[in-house]
Amino acid sequence: MAQALNTALREAMEEDERVVVFGEDVGALGGVFRITDGLAAAFGDDRCFDTPLAEAGIAGFAVGMAMGGFRPVIEMQFDAFAYPAFEQIASHVAKMRNRTRGRVGLPIVIRVPYAGGIGGVEHHSDSSEAYYAHTPGLKVVTPATVDDAYSLLRDAIDDPDPVVFMEPKKLYWSKSDSGRLSRTGPFGRAAVRRAGRDVTLVAYGPTVPVALDAARAAEEEGWDVEVVDLRTIVPFDDATVTASVRRTGRCVVVSEAAGFAGVGAEIAARVQERCFHSLHAPVLRVTGLDIPYPPPMLEHHHLPDADRILDAFDRLQRDDRPDTRHLTLGGAA
C-alpha cells in the first residue's frame, strides 16, 4: 500500500504542476513511512519540501497556497499529531467554500497515518476519524486495499474541496493481487468485499481485513457473512449498506475507534432508521475500548478481532426468538 500511495502522488505531480507536497520529514527522508520517498529528488524542493514541527502552520500554509491556486497535499506525521492543526482544519479548511458563498474552494488533501496495530504508543495510534467526519465541509476517506489506496488518493487530489485521507498504518505493508494500479471507484461508493446472506459486517480502513477474517471463521459455525467496506466515511454510502442489511436482516459494525459517540455509532443509527422493519436483531458494534490508546503490549485487548466479532454474532438472535440474556431486572423483563 505504501508504494501505491507513492505512485499516486508521483503521477499526480507529473500531471499537474500545481500539486505540491509538504510536511514534517517528507522531503529528503521521504516521510516516516516512506510514502513520499523520491518525490523531492524527482520534482525538486519547491514541490516536495520539509516544514517545521508545527502542524497548525502546515495546515494554515496549505490554506494560503490553495487560495493562491496550488493543490497542496500535506502530511500529518501521525494521527494525534494533527490535533494542533484541528483549529485550522475545522475553522478554515472545512468552511472556506461556505464562507465565500461557493466562490473559493480549497483543494487540499490532508494525509493522516492513523489507527493501531503496529505496536505504537498513544499519539501514534489514535483513530481520529470521528472528529473530521463530524465537521461539515470535509470528505473523509480511508482505504482498506492497495488498489483503493492508489485510486482514492488520485481522486482526493483531483477533488475541488478538502479531503482528509486517513491511511491505516498497519496496512502500509499489505500487497495487491491485481499486479497493476488503476482507478477502482468514485468517492461515496462502498464495496461489497464478500457476499453473504445471514449478517452484514460493516467495516472501513484497518478493520476490513479483520471483518474478512471473522467472516471466514464464521463459516465453521454456519454463518454466511457479507462484508461491506465503506471506502469513504464522508460521503456515506447509505444505499449499499441499506440494501445489504435489508437482505441479511442483521448488522454488526466494526471499528477500531472508541465506541462512544464514534463513527460506528452513527452507522448503527443510520441502519436502525433505514432498516428497522427488516432487522431480526439489534444492530451491534465491535469497537475499541473507551480508553486512551493502551501500551503496545496491551493493544491486542483493545483492537477488535475475529473472536470479538464472533461473540457479537452469538447475540444476533439467529433463531429469531427473543434474547433475554441482556435484559436487566429493571428493564422490560
Task: Report which secondary-structure segment, H or E, holds 229.
Answer: strand 225-229
The alpha helices in 192-237, defined as continuous H runs, are: 207-218
Residues 6+ apart with CB under 8 A from 5: 35, 149, 150, 153, 167
63: its cell numbers: 490554506
Helix (H, G, I), strand (E, B) or coil at 41: helix
The alpha helices in the chain, defined as continuous H runs, are: 2-15, 39-43, 55-67, 86-88, 96-99, 129-133, 146-158, 207-218, 238-248, 263-275, 299-302, 306-313
Nearest CA-CA partner of 125 in 296, 283, 279, 261 = 296
193: its cell numbers: 468485499
Antiparallel, parallel or unpaired: β 191-194 and 232-234: unpaired
* ω into 160 cis (within 30 of 0): no
Q: Do residues 31 and 25 make contact, with C-beta atoms less than 8 angstroms apart?
A: yes
247: its cell numbers: 437482505
- Active site amino acids: 124
